[in-house]
Amino acid sequence: MFKTIELRNYRVFDHVVFDLTGPRDSALDYAVVYGRNASGKTALINSVEFLKAATISFPILMDSLEAINPSDMDRVFVENGGIRVVAKDISVFARSNVMKQAESPMSMRYRFEVDGRDAEYAMDFSPDGGRLVSERLRYVSPKARTVEYYSVEGRDGSPLVSFNDRVFPKSEFREWVESQAEQWWGRQTLLSIIMYGALIRNRPYMEREMPCLMKVVDYIDQLNSTMSGFGGEVGGRIEASPMHGWIGTEDMRVLEAFESALDRFMTRVDPDLESVGYETWESESGRVEYTLFFDRRIAGRIRRVRYMDESSGVRKLVSLFPRLLGCANGRVAFIDEMDTGIHDKLMRDLFMQILPDMRGQLIVTTHNTSLMEGLDPRKAFIIEVDMDGVRSINPISDIARTRRNNNNRDRYMRGDLGGVPHISYVDMENIAEHLREDLD
């Protein structure tokens, strides 16, 4: 569960703290973020996607070239019978997120709760080329002491790595991490190197010698993933591509289970649906192609509609389902523009029904003001932009005195709470006239 996200020189934020804590520093179970267009809602969600990208970008071994998108990779080479995929330099991600004309580093601080204790991960990037210049991971020990696992700083083109010997003891594995850091750090994060080593090289050792670190590694690995823990790796692939994809013939049981779960969800939110299911085709290679279809009541009979012919709103609901399923199973999900293409009342009714079932954490941005009528004002946030373009993120409860029975939707739309657009008079006739004159 996330507690705070602090950003400096990140896209439109010069410095902002998104505080997701409630009473006694507990993490909020959900947060709904409002703001006018270009206020930074998408940037806020993308900062979490950036964290995920920064920590899973280290070269990974794959069994075949089938799943590799060459446009997403710098190079591919064979190693020990497997295929090592070298992901793009992390500065590629950073450069697109550094605030334009920034004069100081882009800094990102994430504090989250793992297994009842706090962890903090921080990264700093140069404002010019977006190169990683420092990194730090801290964790609160069982004795309630803040422990620094490691810190890294770039010095004269080389990383200066400082490990805590008590929690990251000297070993063959640590020597491997240090050697990889010499080669890769700056282009990749140290946490991505550790994560790769844990998942591919020596997980049993880390679980035995560094159990707290492994919990942090696993937490970030699952971050904002569509994988709900349903069906293991195969279930994760299906949930990541619920409308169309390929699986092995031996995995049909998992597809059928997911089909049943999706059918229960969709037929309850869409009254015209009779059923939802998959059409499948088996290839000679033993792979199964699946495509989602909808049996829908249209003009007096049940007609089959394939996913590509459905409305954008229905496809959006299908894409939301794995994230909501993940939250119901204790995961964290960040969703930008959750309501896009979905009727306001449907979104409000669905959101209010699922909240009691969320065992994880759900953070969304939206323009659906009808949600405000049922939200806890401590969990409804507004991004406010002042006259100088400086942004802040505050819960409604901090902006104005409010109670659950106050009509915060009306107050927001009147502009009492900030975060709403204000436009000048748009004279389209005058604009069209000037255009004609300019073209004459």
pLDDT of 105 > 70? The answer is yes
Of 242 and 82, the one with more pLDDT: 242
279 CB neighbour count, 10 Å cutoff:
12
pLDDT digits (tens, 9 = 90+) for 116-148: 889 999 999 998 878 899 999 998 776 667 888
pLDDT digits (tens, 9 = 90+) for 306-327: 999 999 999 999 999 998 988 8
**Residue 373 near residue 408, CB atoms below 8 Å:** yes
Helix axes 312-328, 344-354, angle to 10 degrees: 10
pLDDT at 86: 52
Whole-model pTM: value is 0.87
pLDDT of 299 > 80? The answer is yes
Label residue 16 by pLDDT band (50, 70, 90).
Answer: very high
**How confident is the model over 204-215, as a mean pLDDT?**
80
Least confident of 47-51, 66-70, 168-172, 330-334: 66-70
| CA dist., res. 238 & res. 86, Å (int) | 25
Least confident of 90-104, 191-205, 221-235, 354-368: 221-235
- Nearest alpha carbon to residue 362 among 385, 390, 337, 328: 328
Direct distance between the N- and C-terminal alpha carbons of the chain, in angstroms, rounded to an integer: 61
